[in-house]
Amino acid sequence: MTTTLSLADVARLAGVQRPVVSMWRRRPLPDTPFPTPQPDGRFLTDDVVAYLRTTGRGNNPEPELATDLAVTASPAAAADRADVLVLLAARAILGGDALTGADVEDLLDDVEALDPDDEWLFSEIEDADIDRLAPQADAIADNAYSTAEAYEELRSRTAPGGLATDLITTLADIATALLGENGTLVDVDATACDIALATTADESRTATRVLVATSPAPAQGNTAVHTTTAATAPIRQCLRRYRVHSLAARTTDLLGDWDLTEGSVILARVAPSPGAAMATIDELTLHMDPTTTALVIGPASILIDELPTDQVGARDAFLRDGLVRAAVRLPRGLLSEGGGEHLALWLMGPGDPGHLWAGDLSGIGFGESTRQQLLDDVVAAARASHHGRRAFALLHRTDTTRLLARSLPLTALDVSPTDPFPVSAADDAARMADLLRELAAPMTDPFHEVRPRATGSGSAGSSTLGDLARNRLIQVLPGHRFEPLPPGQQRMWTAETVASRRPDAVDLMTLTARHPDVALTRPGDVVFTSAGSPHAVVDAEGGSAVAEPARVLRISPTASLSARAIASAINALAPTPGKGRWRSWTVPVVTGSRSDAEEALARVDSWEDQIRTRLDLLDELRRLATRSVTSGAVSFVDTHANPRDGKASDGS
């Protein structure tokens, strides 16, 4: 069969933007002109492949391997695309064997055995033109790394309205950090399949139970009808997609008992209708207990902005009940097809009815730094019961009462009226004076007694953490799951405090009463996390509790390894695709003196600790000056001015 491609299809095949292909047509190479279009304006696929192969243009070194995918993803093949996707799903679920030449009745029997109640696949396979489309599906699968990858590639090219990859990854990282060891991941109305799949891809976690809570199917007599309609198609597609990735998600009635385990996380993307969105949120809150959190994504126009009087009451009810712990307006362009719509994120869970943590990211980019700060802030807002001494990068504490009284957008109040620092002008001035004195004091030079000197020409060694673990040179121990604990003096490392290198402090008696068997760190243990960007810290003193998803890396006394070198190497790593890939991380192996390495890096860490302490002081000073100086409550006066001018003097 002769197949053709549009200019947009050619661009996708070549791995370039469409204007690049237009430029190729306008500026042909001397000996290799761009293919001649057909009467309908499209181009023969074989001609395009020959052109790309001959010229080397584009970013796809083997374009012929992707032609079947490009043709199927083309709008011209829209009529067959759904059936090809279904066949790819069947091939992936049944084990990856080719479908071409298979007996259709045998194939239907195999699918029916997997889907006896016709909840997610049987009807679609039964209606597909298997004999005609199986070779096309097999060609796409055979030229991909796996059938599941081929399915995802075709689906991503043809499924509108999805979330951008960066947003999916960030939400999955947040969900991973919040999910308890035995917690259930709930996908409300099959709207969060992308996020749930990214969350369950964490190879370091045990298998996560996934629950899809859906509206009940229509019934005839006593039997539910599992026909494919406009309403049920997205749910069937989502359940099918879970199966493609070997995840047997369980379904339950949206209005029934979800039977959630401790530490569960609910995921929901709400509709662009205020009434429908609030109804969905209201339903999911009925299933929440003190250990459950929810991540809700939806239009900022509904979750953040001012609403008409007849629609704002439902949203206000969630705020009055203290169920919205954080509300964030996200930057534009976080849908897979781009666009100017602002999305918003709600973190929900039992909290403080008087306050929420709010942030407006509409004016900044969604780069790696912003994503990491959002992850840290949202997880901290969910977990910590005492935020007074934690610096939030993107979120601010907002008085919910003022928002409700004035019907303001949830991100309208940029500075909390109940700041954790003292509020009188005299107290602010005194505290700023103390901060200035501490900042002006000289720092201690940890290297003042030593200087570097070349003593050899040895080369550095390295190994992966996976190899070190297999050789029993290190142990990697999981963190524990803790509910919120009152403040105290016992150090505790969490994912966000590992990133900031400042442990939380919780009440020791409460910790030991609730978790009598909790294991604490030993001196020199490395505490690390792989959620978001990798982070690590050396717990030099030991005796700290570690909360999941943070982990403990313990070095064998006989290993030629430096804890501080390993932590430094982890902190230098860039985020990698997928989560929990710590086994592949490369870390240094000490080929010289282990004690010398530890001592030198300890001195470096001492410098860093002093600098971080000063940065904390600067952050507090900036907060106080922003509030008190800008309001005129405090001013900085010249200490050398003439006393007769009414200003302070230095006494000379």
* Residue 12 shares a structural domain with residue 104: yes
Domain membership of residue 130 (yes or no) is yes
Determine the pLDDT at residue 578. Answer: 47
Amino acid present at 87:
L
In the sheet that holds 342-348, the strands lie side by side as: 250-253, 209-214, 184-188, 265-269, 293-299, 342-348, 324-332, 355-360, 396-399
* Residue 154 shares a structural domain with residue 169: no
Averaged pLDDT, 214-220:
61
Q: Where is pLDDT greater, at 419 or 141?
A: 141
The band of 599, judged by pLDDT with boundaries at 50, 70 and 90, is: confident
Q: For all residues of the chain together, what is the average pLDDT?
A: 82
Task: Report H helices in 28-98.
Answer: 45-55, 67-73, 78-94
* Residue 311 shares a structural domain with residue 329: yes
Averaged pLDDT, 522-529:
93
* Residue 387 shares a structural domain with residue 476: no
Closest CA to 510 of 496, 495, 490, 493: 490
Domain membership of residue 149 (yes or no) is yes
* Domain assignment of residue 16, given as a range: 4-158
Question: With 60 as the cut, is the pLDDT of residue 591 above it?
Answer: yes
Question: With 90 as the cut, is the pLDDT of residue 566 above it?
Answer: yes
Domain membership of residue 343 (yes or no) is yes
Rounded-to-integer distance, Cα 330 and Cα 565, Å: 37
Domain membership of residue 151 (yes or no) is yes
Lowest mean pLDDT among 45-59, 87-101, 146-160, 350-364: 146-160
Question: With 50 as the cut, is the pLDDT of residue 561 above it?
Answer: yes
Q: How many domains does one find in the chain?
A: 3
Residue-wise pLDDT for 383-411, tens only, equals: 765 444 456 778 888 888 878 877 778 88
Residue-wise pLDDT for 75-84, tens only, equals: 555 667 788 8
* Residue 244 shares a structural domain with residue 296: yes
Tell which of 134, 158, 182 closes a domain: 158
The band of 190, judged by pLDDT with boundaries at 50, 70 and 90, is: very high
Q: What is the CATH number of the domain that holds 316?
A: 3.40.50.150
Domain membership of residue 174 (yes or no) is yes
* Residue 242 shares a structural domain with residue 384: yes
For residue 513 the two structure tokens come to 């009463």
Strands (E), 263-334: 265-269, 293-299, 324-332
* Residue 180 shares a structural domain with residue 92: no
Tell which of 569, 591, 613 closes a domain: 591
pTM, whole model, 2 decimals?
A: 0.58
The enclosing H or E element of 616 equals: helix 594-628
* Residue 236 shares a structural domain with residue 297: yes
Determine the pLDDT at residue 303. Answer: 94
Tell which of 133, 158, 183 closes a domain: 158
538 touches 599 (CB < 8 A): no
* Residue 184 shares a structural domain with residue 236: yes
* Residue 481 shares a structural domain with residue 507: yes
Pairing of strands 342-348, 293-299: antiparallel
Cα–Cα distances (Å) from 228 to 119, 124, 218, 221, 235, in that order, read 9, 8, 11, 19, 9
| DSSP character at residue 588 | E
Determine the pLDDT at residue 91. Answer: 87
Q: At what angle do helices 165-178 and 193-200 cross, to 10 degrees?
A: 60
For residue 636 the two structure tokens come to 């900085």
The band of 513, judged by pLDDT with boundaries at 50, 70 and 90, is: confident
Domain membership of residue 33 (yes or no) is yes
Q: Where is pLDDT greater, at 415 or 501?
A: 501
Q: What is the CATH number of the domain that holds 508?
A: 3.90.220.20
The band of 422, judged by pLDDT with boundaries at 50, 70 and 90, is: very low
Domain membership of residue 642 (yes or no) is no
Own/partner long-range contacts of 509-515 (Cβ < 8 Å, ≥24 apart)? 510/485, 510/486, 511/482, 511/485, 511/545, 514/482, 514/483, 514/485, 515/480, 515/482
Averaged pLDDT, 446-452:
85
Amino acid present at 450:
V
Rounded-to-integer distance, Cα 126 and Cα 108, Å: 7
Residue 363 CB burial class (10 angstroms; 0-12, 13-18, ≥19)? exposed
Domain membership of residue 444 (yes or no) is no
Closest CA to 312 of 321, 325, 324, 303: 303
* Residue 171 shares a structural domain with residue 142: no
Rounded-to-integer distance, Cα 336 and Cα 251, Å: 27
* Residue 373 shares a structural domain with residue 507: no
The enclosing H or E element of 462 equals: strand 461-464
Question: With 60 as the cut, is the pLDDT of residue 594 above it?
Answer: yes
Question: With 60 as the cut, is the pLDDT of residue 7 above it?
Answer: yes
Averaged pLDDT, 290-312:
89
Closest CA to 328 of 351, 354, 362, 353: 362
